[in-house]
Amino acid sequence: MFRTLVLCCLLPIITAIGISKTELPNKGLPNTGMPFQNDISNLLNDPVLSPMELAQNAGYKAESYEVVTQDGYILEMHRLESSSTSSRSTNKTPVLLLHGLLDCSVTWIAAGPKVALGYMLVDQGYDVWLGNVRGNRFSRKHSNLTTSDAEFWMFSWNEMGMYDLPAMIDHITMETKQEKIFMVTHSQGGTAFFVMASERPEYQEKIIALSALAPAVFMSRVGFSLLAVSSIATVDNNLISRLPVHDIQPSGKLLQTVGRVICSQQSPLWSLCKNLFDLFFGYDGNFIESTLGLMSQYDPAGASIRQFAHYGQSVISGKFRKFDYGVAGNMKNYGQEQPPDYNLGNVSMPVALYYGTNDVITVAQDILELYETLPNGQKSLIQFDNFTHLDFLWGNNVNTLLYNKILKFMEQHRM
């Protein structure tokens, strides 16, 4: 009954997020500082730049690639390199960055040069690849299905680990002719990695080391946020089947325009914008102000309802295990009444876990539980008391508080 009541409260929000059927694929905000005095008609007509255009405006070269997964999803990836490089070097070590729930590849460059991790890695001589998982605004195509088909949305983060990540890794190693890559993940990106490493451990042979920022694996201690509440609310499979929608759509023109108005640095409503992000991902975020204005054009980037449901199952069960279809569905899919746990004992490669004490999504105690299961893991606490789930990407001083540590860890393992 509680989940039904909560879901009834959330449905207007879910519907509002997906209300605009007119999307702006591959478009983004031209700059991060927008005068609040702009005429509304200008706000409506402002172009939204693609990730490649954002990178090019920041002084970097960028390319887009399409990757097809084993089960037919077509994923868009973005590749960055320094504009000062006249020809592409074949000796650069590739690094794949993978975003979290409701997010997309832009998150790794939103903070701008010298601050955003994507740009910092390019400046350090890495071949940088930004991934987009199935269902987000840049990966909404399939070889046989459309987003109007319910079957398109019958996935959770399990399939991202089983199919999306392997397809991205295979494409990068083939394109770069490098045998191994680095990985950096945030939140759900880490979930997908640990699914892959548990179920398809052979792919660890293609990864040098992982830097996992706030990986969402064990989640029984999750604190209050709208993201957590919505995940718990969608746990019931019967409830999911009765929902009028199968996904949360990417923000369209309406939300993007609202974002331009309330999230610009000069807006008197900027605090409202910040509070909306805080409501979903945890309070007291120490955000770079200009970043929220930019990311309001891309997030929410879209997701399947099943991604939320799978996280809700993790919160309730306290386990890291496969999707729970109910007794009958589990017998059909797994041959047992309960879904099997992912075997984290298979994760043998070097893994660095980064976490904060003010993160209500991936709580410190849950990260420490994950650390105890990893044979080759290390942990690093962010030395800032108010560091929240989104500060890993858009926080003030995130480059000095976190990214320099990641660069040092990667340099230690660089081949």
Could you list the residue range(s) of the whole structural domain that residue 29 is in? 2-413
Phi-psi region of 271 (alpha: psi -120 to 50; beta: other; left: phi over 0): alpha
Those residues with Cβ within 8 angstroms of residue 283's Cβ, 6 or more apart along the chain or in another chain: 360, 388
DSSP single-letter state for residue 341: B
Nearest Cα to Cα of residue 359 among 292, 274, 281, 291: 281
pLDDT of residue 89: 62
Q: Cα–chain-centroid distance for residue 234?
A: 20
Q: Is-cis flag, bond preceding 35, omega within 30?
A: no
Please identify which residue in the block is written with the tokens 């807006």: 267
Q: What is the pLDDT of residue 43?
A: 52
H-helix segments, 336-376 = 364-373
Per-residue pLDDT in tens (0 to 9) along the chain, 415 residues: 333 333 333 433 333 444 333 333 333 333 433 344 444 555 556 788 999 999 999 999 999 999 999 999 999 999 999 877 545 566 899 999 999 999 999 999 999 999 999 999 999 999 999 999 999 999 999 999 999 999 999 999 999 999 999 999 999 999 999 999 999 999 999 999 999 999 999 999 999 999 999 999 999 999 866 666 666 666 666 666 666 789 999 999 898 999 988 998 888 888 888 888 877 777 666 888 889 889 999 999 999 999 999 999 999 999 999 999 999 999 999 999 999 999 999 999 999 999 999 999 999 999 999 999 999 999 999 999 989 999 999 999 999 999 999 999 999 998 7
The two structure tokens encoding residue 109:
């460059």
What's the full length of the chain, in residues?
415
Q: Which whole-number Å values give the CA distances from 335 to 1, 159, 291, 329, 331, in the listed order?
A: 29, 19, 47, 9, 4
Give the DSSP H/E element, type plus range, for residue 124. none
Cβ atoms of 367 and 351 closer than 8 Å? no
Q: What totals of helices (H) and strands (E) does the chain contain, helices first?
A: 18, 11
The pLDDT of residue 34: 39
Phi/psi for 304 (5° steps) reads -85, 145
Q: What is the DSSP letter of 234?
A: T
Among candidate residues 127, 155, 131, the one with its CA nearest the CA of residue 301: 131
> Active-site residue numbers?
187, 359, 389
What is the distance between the alpha carbons of residues 126 and 178, in angstroms, rounded to a whole number?
12
> Which two structure tokens, joined as six digits, stand for 287?
């955000």
Cα 357 to chain center, whole Å? 20
CATH classification of the domain holding 216: 3.40.50.1820
Its sign, for the CA torsion 387, 392, 393, 397, is positive
Neighbours of 271 (CB within 10 A): 11
- Beta pairing partners, 248: 303
DSSP reduced 3-state for 143:
coil
What are residue 79's DSSP bridge partners? 63, 129
Q: Are 269 and 116 in contact (CB under 8 A)?
A: no
Taking the CA atoms of 231, 379, 204 and 131 in sequence, report the sign of the dihedral they define.
positive
Q: Based on the number of CB atoms within 10 Å of its own CB, is 337 exposed (0-12), middle (13-18) or buried (19 or more)?
A: exposed
pLDDT of residue 23: 36
Q: Alpha carbon 43 to chain centroid distance?
A: 27
Domain count, the chain: 1
CA distance linking residue 212 with residue 90, whole number of Å: 26
